[in-house]
């Protein structure tokens, strides 16, 4: 199903379902080469969400700031490549939401264990805000907080479940957003975790 949750934001419930087995295998291969790690913000706080990346660019944070880098700072090697199956899933979802021609070069992979959260923020480290961000949710359900263009705008809450895909474009591209602390649970496929992939055009 295709549901407009705001101007520019399209929720495709279950869109990733048919890709589930391949997605989980791809993530397993990526994590072997570039394990999940808890990065540090410029303010010195360790993130509760663990992250890794695939693609020619990966999102990183440390005391020096937020940025995209072609190299994994832990291994000093390039990030694992973006599998064609992952690129195709993102491009198909974007097209379904009205963004034909989306070609992501970065995929940030977030792992939430029970209690992990992401505070309200904007994604603005990418060069072209005309390109959408495609987000794929797997594993335990999460409460997603979708705010407005000002941090003070009261966020609306959406429950995102295994297989749900959201395309964030247009005026939603720069909205403040976050994820409430993950409730404990046991997902039939992924166990006690939520994994979110965000496909981005970084460069
Ligand atoms: C997540 N990740 O569920 C979310 C999904 C991140 C992040 O926020 O930065 O890793 S991406 C959600 C997103 C992206 C761009 C715009 C908006 C949401 N939005 O307008 O709400 O782990
Ligand atoms: Fe974000």
Tell me which residue has its CA closest to atom 11 in ligand 1: 135
Judge if the beta carbon of residue 199 lies within 6 A of ligand 1: no
Tens of pLDDT, residues 77-94: 999 999 999 999 999 999
**Quick one: pLDDT at residue 74?**
98
For residue 49, the ligand closest to its alpha carbon is 1
Please report the pLDDT score of residue 128 as a whole number: 96
Domain map of the chain by residue range? 2-200
pLDDT in the model for residue 133: 99
Q: 193 with 29: CB under 8 angstroms?
A: no
Segments in the chain forming alpha helices (H): 20-33, 84-96
Tell me how far the alpha carbon of residue 8 lies from the centroid of ligand 2, in angstroms. 15
Q: Is the CB of 135 under 6 A from ligand 1?
A: yes
**pLDDT, position 6:** 97
Q: Is the CB of 198 under 6 A from ligand 1?
A: yes
Q: Which two tokens stand for residue 47?
A: 């993130």
Of all residues in the chain, the percent with pLDDT exceeding 90 is: 100
Ligand number nearest CA of 168 is 1
**Which atom of ligand 1 sits closest to the CA of residue 108?**
10
Q: Tell me the ligand closest to 179's alpha carbon.
A: 1
Residue nearest atom 1 in ligand 1 by C-alpha distance: 196
Nearest to 155 by CA among 168, 144, 141, 169: 144
CATH number attached to the domain at 2-200? 2.60.120.590
pTM beyond cutoff 0.90:
yes
Residue nearest ligand 1's atom 22 by CA: 196
Cα separation, 194 vs 39, in Å, equals 18
First to last CA, the chain: 31
């Amino acid at each position: 199903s295709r549901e407009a949750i705001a101007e520019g934001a399209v929720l495709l419930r279950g869109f990733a379902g048919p890709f589930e087995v391949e997605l989980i295998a791809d993530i397993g291969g990526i994590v072997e080469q570039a394990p999940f790690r808890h990065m540090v913000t410029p303010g010195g706080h360790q993130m509760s969400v663990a992250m890794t990346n695939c693609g020619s660019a990966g999102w990183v944070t440390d005391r020096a700031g937020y940025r995209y880098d072609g190299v994994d700072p832990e291994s000093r090697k390039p990030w694992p490549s973006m599998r064609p199956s992952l690129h195709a899933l993102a491009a198909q979802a974007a097209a379904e939401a009205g963004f034909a021609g989306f070609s992501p070069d970065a995929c940030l992979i977030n792992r939430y264990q029970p209690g992990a959260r992401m505070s309200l923020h904007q994604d603005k480290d990418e060069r072209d805000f005309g390109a959408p961000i495609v987000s794929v949710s797997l594993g335990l359900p999460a409460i997603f907080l979708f705010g407005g263009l000002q941090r003070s705008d009261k966020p609306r809450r959406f429950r995102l479940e295994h297989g749900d895909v959201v395309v964030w474009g247009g005026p939603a591209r720069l909205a403040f957003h976050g994820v409430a602390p993950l409730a404990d649970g046991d997902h039939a496929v992924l166990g006690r975790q939520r994994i979110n992939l965000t496909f981005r055009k970084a460069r």
